[in-house]
């Protein structure tokens, strides 16, 4: 049985990183997701977050790569949201209305 392949999300915005082990080599797809999320965050959040993610994710050939891309993308956005919560002056919890 294979030991798996590790992907690493580096610490960002004061939020810790994480290591994730995949059954296949998904490092490139994972890193693409992280980079795309960072680009979206850096560019005044142009466009809809979900549309940006889906458009790029669907270009990947197999399900495990698409999943790795999603995890990388959403993990980077999660780090950013958590850093905003930690740095805010308000003690109010983050709430979203859908």
- Domain residue ranges in the chain: 25-86
Q: Are 21 and 6 in contact (CB under 8 A)?
A: yes
Lowest mean per-residue pLDDT among 4-13, 24-33, 50-59, 67-76: 4-13
pTM: 0.79
Task: Convert the pLDDT of each residue in 35-92 to its tens digit.
Answer: 999 999 998 667 888 998 999 999 999 999 999 999 999 999 999 988 877 665 444 4
> In this predicted structure, what is the pLDDT of residue 3?
78
Helix, strand or coil, per DSSP, at residue 8: strand
Of 28 and 2, the one with more pLDDT: 28
Q: Which residues contact 73 (CB under 8 A, 6 or more apart)?
A: 33, 34, 36, 37, 53, 57
β-bridge mates for residue 35, sequence order = none
């Amino acid at each position: 049985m294979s030991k798996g392949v590790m992907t690493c999300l580096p610490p960002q915005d004061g939020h810790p990183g994480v290591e994730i082990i995949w059954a296949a080599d998904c490092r490139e797809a994972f890193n693409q997701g992280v980079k795309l999320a960072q680009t979206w965050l850096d560019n005044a959040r142009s466009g809809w977050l979900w549309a940006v993610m889906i458009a790029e994710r669907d270009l990947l050939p197999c399900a495990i790569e698409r999943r790795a891309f999603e995890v990388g993308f959403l993990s980077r956005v999660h780090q950013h949201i958590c850093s905003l919560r930690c740095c805010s002056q308000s003690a109010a919890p983050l709430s979203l209305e859908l």
